[in-house]
């Protein structure tokens, strides 16, 4: 109808106006190359990381379903978590009951964490599954053993959580990223600065 055509034309006009406005915005100094020429800074598409964590409840079919949902929502990465509970926790922490019993998958917090862990082979299966459906696999590594295990999977990145800062040892830093996102999200400038300094200190030293 004429009214419908009016709405469509109006929407199109708004889009054209927005595009024109963006084209007229002043160029950032970051777009300059070192010699002052244009094109020194390249804007790239933002990549969304879907945090699956341990919400798979220790079940591979749920993990894969969550990966499919992340893919359908447009995420570029489906990120999990990897822990070695006996290395990460003290003996006392391992043997304590879960602080929220209704959420526990074991009699102790350590047993609960063990139940939720996928093996290296299972994480590799998820990496392969991601390749099949068109989404990349990634994980955070909460301890040195986990970092050494997960580095064997040829992913784009591993994440070192703020809890695990500073980043894993030199042989792990080749594909691990510093815990910048967790620190900044937590709103603690001191943690962010420490993470940046740790990243600078390890740059170029991976063995």
Q: What is the pLDDT of residues 95-152, one digit of tens each?
A: 999 999 999 999 999 999 999 999 999 999 999 999 999 999 999 999 889 999 999 9
* Percentage of residues in the chain having pLDDT higher than 70: 58
Of 132, 168, 136, residue with least CA distance to 153? 136
Burial of 105 per CB tally in 10 Å (0-12, 13-18, 19+) = middle
Q: What φ, ψ does residue 68 adopt, rounded to 5°?
A: -65, -45
Residue 80 near residue 126 (C-beta atoms within 8 A): yes
Helical H segments across the chain, by residue range = 2-24, 60-72, 85-88, 91-95, 109-116, 120-133, 144-150, 180-185, 189-202
**What architecture is the 49-163+188-204 domain classified under in CATH?**
Alpha-Beta Barrel (3.20)
Domain residue limits, the chain: 49-163+188-204
Taking the model in full, what pTM does it have? Answer: 0.63
Q: Which of 3-7, 11-15, 52-56, 175-179 has the highest mean pLDDT?
A: 52-56
């Amino acid at each position: 109808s004429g009214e419908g055509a009016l709405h469509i034309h109006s929407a199109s006009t708004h889009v054209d106006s927005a595009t024109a406005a963006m084209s007229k915005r002043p160029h950032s100094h970051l777009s300059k190359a070192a010699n002052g020429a244009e094109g020194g800074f390249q804007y790239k598409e933002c990549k969304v990381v879907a945090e699956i964590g341990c919400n798979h409840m220790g079940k591979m079919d749920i993990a894969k379903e969550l990966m499919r949902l992340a893919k359908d929502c447009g995420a570029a990465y489906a990120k999990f978590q990897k822990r070695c509970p006996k290395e990460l926790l003290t003996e006392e922490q391992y043997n304590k009951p879960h602080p929220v019993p209704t959420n526990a998958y074991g009699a102790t917090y350590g047993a609960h964490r063990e139940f939720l862990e996928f093996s290296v082979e299972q994480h590799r299966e998820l990496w392969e599954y991601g390749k099949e459906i068109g989404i990349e696999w990634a994980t955070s590594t909460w301890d040195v053993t986990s970092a050494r295990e997960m580095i064997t999977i040829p992913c784009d990145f591993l994440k070192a959580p703020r809890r695990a800062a500073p980043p894993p040892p030199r042989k792990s830093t080749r594909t691990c990223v510093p815990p910048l996102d967790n620190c900044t999200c937590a709103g603690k400038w001191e943690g962010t600065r420490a993470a940046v300094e740790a990243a600078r200190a390890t740059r170029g030293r991976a063995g």
